[in-house]
Homo-oligomer: A and B are copies of this chain.
Amino acid sequence: MEKNQISLPVDDLPKKWYNILPDLPEPLPPPKEPDEGPSRLEFLAKTMTKECLSQESSSQRWIAIPEEVRELYIQAGRPRPLYRARRLEKHLKLKKTRLYYKREDLSPTGSHKTNTALAQAYFASREGKRVLITETGAGQWGTALAHAARLAGLECVVFWVRSVYDWKVDRRTLMQLLGAKVYASPSKQTRMGREILARDVNHHGSLGIAVSEGLEYTEEHEGSVYCLGSVLNHVLMHQTIIGLETIKQFELIDDQPDLIVGCLGGGSNFGGISLPFVGEVLKKKRECEFLAAQTMASPSLLKGRYEYDFGDVGEHTPLMKMYTLGHKTEMKPIKADGLRYHAAAPIISLLRHRGIVKATAYPTDERAVFEAAKIFLQCEGWLIAPESSYAVRAGIDEAVKNEKIGQEKAICMNISGHGFLDIPAYKEKILS
């Protein structure tokens, strides 16, 4: 029998995260202060945990995953299976291309974001913090942090862009069931929020405002820490658990991927599955290509410039060298909200700059990506997140391309999350 599910024994869950910083082909350009305003580096340092701050610029290649975090990973269902997509291959009539996918959709909150949320919550707890603060746009990150805070016995406060907060009622309910305080941003909880509401009581908010509110709240509440869900080096490092498991799983079946495909907004799931493979490519230990699937709403790696920019609209972060569309760019709303970000993580940007990571982008009507998700559902049986459908679309497109070339090739797609809370989007895009 050909088994489509490649599972890794619980005991084989990796014991270390992979930090790519010392292996990069050139030193990562450090974050910088802007010319004006208060020190962003000091501010960031003040609101983060010491451990994450230290990991952010560590030169240590392997960083031990604390036993407590490994236990939490196992509690959250890790290791997650890798699948050979034989049913999809058959549907696409592939003869030369082997398709695989990694199942981050099995996460308790529905996305890969738990991998860093659980780690950040643990470090905060170890440093005596009591409250985790964050902002959220699409809601995946807020849910993951609410979950992690609860499991660590901490409180959680989420500032959620009002225009999303208002309609994603189920996701809001889930955060609240997990015990989080969820505020529509702009909120009455902060000076900034109150000022904005005084001018416009119906202000629909923005990610920039939500970040500002979160940071102000963190500064004014002792024992609290601000948590970020993407872009930063330590976040991508926590996510390497995905790729490290995947390497072991390919070893189990004596195969290896020639191409890894992931969707990319800020870069955390893409970095998570790719970086352990990239590290081995850089050391000439393997050959593999990497493709980021983006939305034309924010095709940072394709249309952006590689330059220093803020990580947020509100200019609270230091300047980071990234492929960026500009931190004030307006982006068209799409169903895969998680991909709407103006820039790519510094590490991913450097790899793009050096030609190691390639990128593609799909139109904002999203018909093509939802169609791919439907094919995936009907063949493989799993309902995936709108974001993940970009990875599947790109994986299918690359497979079809490869069939014309006729080379033996293995493609691995990362399924970053499930779609059970995104069914209305499917209805709109597929059934109407």
Contact = CB atoms under 8 A, between A and B. Distances in A.
Interface of A: 1-7, 9-11, 67, 70-71, 74-77, 81, 87, 106, 108, 110, 147, 150-151, 169-170, 173-174, 176-179, 374, 377-378, 380-383, 418, 420-421, 423-424, 426-427, 430-431
8 contacts: A1-B71, A87-B151, A108-B382, A170-B423, A173-B426, A177-B383, A178-B377, A420-B420
A418 B105 CA distance: 13
B75 A427 contact: no
Contacts of A7: 7, 9-10
Q: List the number of copies, as a whole number.
A: 2
Contacts of A77: 5, 81, 106
Nearest to A370: B177
B377 A5 contact: no
Contacts of A6: 10
Considering residues A150, A170, A426, A431, which has the most beta carbons from chain B within 10 angstroms of its beta carbon? Answer: A170
B75 A380 contact: yes
Given A3-B71, A177-B378, 15 more contacts: A1-B71, A2-B71, A3-B10, A4-B71, A5-B77, A6-B10, A7-B10, A9-B9, A108-B381, A150-B381, A169-B424, A177-B377, A177-B430, A420-B420, A421-B423
Contact of A431 (B106, B177, B424): B177
Q: Shortest 8 CB-CB distances between A and B: which pairs?
A: A420-B420, A170-B423, A173-B427, A108-B381, A5-B74, A173-B423, A4-B75, A150-B378
B10 A108 contact: no
Contacts of A1: 67, 70-71
A421 B173 CA distance: 12
Contacts of A10: 3, 5-7
A3 B68 CA distance: 11
A174 B75 contact: no
B378 A179 contact: yes
A150 B378 CA distance: 6
A43 to B, nearest CB: 32
